């Protein structure tokens, strides 16, 4: 690191710093760098599919079959809203410029197609509200129920009950949720069956998407900013020590 070498040269030639003091300060720098590099931000722990039961957790299922993909299924243990469920454990969404993040315009998962969100920007700009013929529809099945209910409220206004299922399907539907391409072709009980890996209409596979940290494994980044910060702190301390020694010498004379 060229920047580190230049700063090191200036530091070593600073007046009033002896070999012993230099060794102490360098040890301080090294300790600071180790802490900065070895302690990246912690990532969220995954929630196994088994944590969702008939009375606990909420199953999230997202149907990507519109783009030739599977139905991805995961478990949210303590979601407060449908929006929170759709933005945890590797899931992430995007809203529209017109309606804000609460209107689900895109959905993506960190472990699927490198985290791409669908529909893609080329397919939907997400500036205005998407047309009724192509948008993410929101369905729910209460604990123990094997029928879907079309949500009449947005994801931010829905509070999933423990043991329920939230399903997102891309397409169109009537206001009542009784007709259209987005009416679910797969039953809640099929999604609940954690042993299934290929089920539903037209053989759309159901795949467990074990939650990941929303941002993936955090990168520690470059150590140089940490090095610079510790050097500055060490130089300030050294300057203070040197000034104190000079004052003591002056007082003796």
Q: Is residue 75 part of a domain?
A: yes
Burial 18-54 (b: 16+ CB within 10 A, else e): eeebeebbeebbeebbeebeeeeeeeeeebebeebee
Q: Is residue 123 part of a domain?
A: yes
Rounded mean pLDDT for each run of 10 residues along the chain, 253 residues in total: 35 46 48 38 54 91 95 88 93 96 96 94 96 95 95 92 96 91 93 62 76 43 42 52 60 59
CATH of the domain at 73: 2.170.130.30
Q: Is residue 62 part of a domain?
A: yes
In terms of pTM, does the model score above 0.75?
no
Q: Is residue 25 part of a domain?
A: no
Instruction: Print the domain residue range for 178.
Output: 53-208
- Among 143, 162, 189, which Cα is nearest to 77's? 162
Domain count, the chain: 1
Q: Is the peptide bond before 119 cis (omega within 30 degrees of 0)?
A: yes
Round to the nearest angstrom and report the end-to-end CA distance of the chain: 45
Q: Is residue 134 part of a domain?
A: yes
Q: Is residue 35 part of a domain?
A: no
């Amino acid at each position: 690191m060229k920047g580190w070498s230049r700063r090191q040269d200036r530091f070593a030639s600073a007046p009033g710093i002896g070999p012993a003091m230099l060794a102490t300060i360098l040890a301080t720098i090294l300790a600071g760098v180790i802490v900065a590099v070895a302690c990246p931000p912690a990532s969220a722990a995954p929630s196994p599919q088994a944590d969702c039961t008939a009375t606990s957790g909420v199953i999230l299922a997202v149907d990507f079959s519109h783009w030739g993909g599977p139905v991805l299924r995961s478990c949210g243990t303590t979601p407060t809203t449908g929006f929170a469920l759709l933005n945890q454990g590797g899931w992430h969404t995007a809203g529209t410029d017109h309606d804000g993040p609460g209107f689900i315009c895109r959905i993506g998962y960190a472990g699927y197609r490198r985290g791409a969100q669908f529909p893609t920007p080329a397919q939907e700009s997400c500036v205005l509200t998407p047309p009724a013929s192509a948008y993410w529809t929101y369905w729910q099945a209460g604990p123990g129920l094997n029928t879907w209910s079309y949500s009449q409220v947005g994801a931010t206004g829905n509070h999933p009950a423990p043991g329920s299922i939230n399903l997102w399907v891309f397409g169109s539907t009537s206001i009542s949720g009784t007709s259209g391409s987005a009416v679910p072709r797969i039953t809640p009980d099929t999604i609940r069956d954690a042993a299934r890996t290929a089920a539903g209409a037209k053989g759309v596979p159901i795949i467990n998407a074990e939650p990941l940290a929303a941002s993936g494994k955090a990168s520690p980044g470059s150590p140089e900013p940490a090095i610079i910060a510790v050097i500055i702190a060490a130089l300030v301390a050294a300057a203070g020590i040197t000034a104190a020694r000079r004052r003591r010498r002056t007082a003796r004379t």
